[in-house]
Structure 1
């Protein structure tokens, strides 16, 4: 039969079979026979698609920069997309009638560009260069809520910003400035290290001086303590010597007092003895000689009496004719001396 053909869609293609303006069949991965004379087929790719982008924009301070990234999306509502865009296939069932299906990515990219441009134009160059993560968050939120994409049945899955770069001349200027800043930071770091080293050395010197001062103070305290101890010992020795001298003085005074008393007593005793002797002598002068001799003999020892007898014999030797001393008498005379 002329015009009868067979169509089969893959698993990521949503096919819509329309006969005389009425949808007869639709779905993913369906297959059917159709009459090319009365049937039109629309196919919408519902798989994930990726669209890279690079935008040359201008910041609030009139500096040029480029934003490079990629957006991932899919057609979540193929019927709505097919209503707004032409997804019809040609009669061969292989190629599209229009270029609308090929421009889906461009539509998404234009929406992304509008959002990015509004944000970049409100920032200075330095601020815009650091907007990477902020742009990603902004795009994810704005694209999910975009009424334009929702009306076309498009759902954004993910978006990434790979790079935000200034122009070549600006990049060189920024590199030079950054290089100078790094050199300055390096110089500051060297200065800081030197300053820290000087401060450390000063701290060490101060610690050494403080230690030396503490040692000197300790030595001075020890010296002063030693002097104080010596003074205490010297005062003790002086006090001991003073007490010793005072004791000697007191002892000497006592001795003088004793000597004086002894001399006084001796004088009194001598006076008493002299008085007694004088009295006896006075008495003796009145007694006869024979009485005195008798009194003397009465108080003599036998030996003294013998000696007195021999003395009398010696005095009257011219009157004695012959004197005989027997051995017995001589032995008795010598016996007391031997004992």
Structure 2
């Protein structure tokens, strides 16, 4: 909106750089350009303010597909007035000389014109498209169709409008239909999630089984080695016992042989000694046979005296002496 001030019955207008001002005085163009500032007389002036900046127009309308399903199209159109003079002659952009406010609603007229043209071509396209195709490729198709249609619309060109860009934000069916369409995908996703869970559980079970088998194999191998150890220990003990028995037998045999040899030697010595003693006794007896008996008695007494214990006191009675003398006399 232009900034208008009052001074001494005149008006001063100052426009923004994005506003094109067209000033007519008695039907003649006095000022024509963007961002102007000038004095004018309100009684003889006709001023139009045309915005030349980029404008965004949001659209929301309903359409029906070929399978009779209602869809909501949400789009945005970016446009700009490239010919302000033509726009000022086709639409009412006149402003009040006292306030600078538009007398009409030109931007609403432009919005209605763009919306109706875009909606018309979008409805024609969606009416020949099924709901599934519309939801799959409808956004790009609707955007291209609206852009082509608005670019080829002669009324927009005559009005000095240029469509810069068209964006289709969303293309949605009714909530019930959308939920119904989401159900298979959700079920498939849930099935995939369940399958992944089952596979993860199966892998976990397989790994647990492998771990259990490894533990069992380890226990079997340990038991087998323990059996080998017990067998080896028994073999070693048996071998040790056999070695000890063999050594004991050798020792016993050696001891027996030694004792036999010793006994044989002792027996031989005893036999030899006995033979010698016997020979000596025989010789002694032979010698005694040739000796007088009195001598033998004397020798016997001598031997007896040599073997008698020590006598400190000896008592001789007459009976003893008489008997002894009697024996000696005989």
After superposition, the Cα gap between the structure-2 partners of 1:197 and 1:82, relative to the gap in structure 1 and judged at 3 Å, is closer
Which of 29, 46, 49 does residue 43 from structure 1 map onto?
Answer: 49
Matches of 2:103 and 2:283, distance apart in 1 = 190
Matching residue of 2:190? 186
User: Does the 8 A contact of 2:22 with 2:33 survive in 1?
Assistant: yes
Matching residue of 2:83? 81
Matching residue of 2:23? 17
Task: Report the Cα offset of residue 257 of structure 1.
Answer: 1.0
Matching residue of 1:32? 39
Matching residue of 2:3? none
After superposition, the Cα gap between the structure-2 partners of 1:91 and 1:161, relative to the gap in structure 1 and judged at 3 Å, is closer
Matches of 2:216 and 2:222, distance apart in 1 = 10
Q: Report the TM-score when normalising by structure 1.
A: 0.58
Q: Report the TM-score when normalising by structure 2.
A: 0.59
Correspondence 1:264 to 2:268: yes
User: Does the 8 A contact of 2:23 with 2:30 survive in 1?
Assistant: yes
Cα deviation code 1:238-291 (max 9, x no counterpart): 322332232112111110111111111211222222222223333333333344
User: Does the 8 A contact of 1:54 with 1:67 survive in 2?
Assistant: yes
After superposition, the Cα gap between the structure-2 partners of 1:189 and 1:153, relative to the gap in structure 1 and judged at 3 Å, is closer
Q: What is the number of residues matched between the two proteins?
A: 298
Q: Tell me the SS of whatever aligns to 1:301.
A: helix
After superposition, the Cα gap between the structure-2 partners of 1:290 and 1:43, relative to the gap in structure 1 and judged at 3 Å, is same
Which of 283, 290, 297 does residue 286 from structure 1 map onto?
Answer: 290
After superposition, the Cα gap between the structure-2 partners of 1:304 and 1:278, relative to the gap in structure 1 and judged at 3 Å, is same
After superposition, the Cα gap between the structure-2 partners of 1:191 and 1:262, relative to the gap in structure 1 and judged at 3 Å, is same
Correspondence 1:165 to 2:203: no
Q: Tell me the SS of whatever aligns to 1:285.
A: helix
User: Does the 8 A contact of 1:5 with 1:36 survive in 2?
Assistant: no
| Structure 2, unpaired ranges of 5+ | 1-8
Matches of 1:228 and 1:208, distance apart in 2 = 30
Which of 232, 251, 260 does residue 236 from structure 2 map onto?
Answer: 232
| Structure 1, unpaired ranges of 5+ | 321-339
- RMSD of Structure 2 on Structure 1 (CA): 5.7
User: Does the 8 A contact of 1:42 with 1:82 survive in 2?
Assistant: no
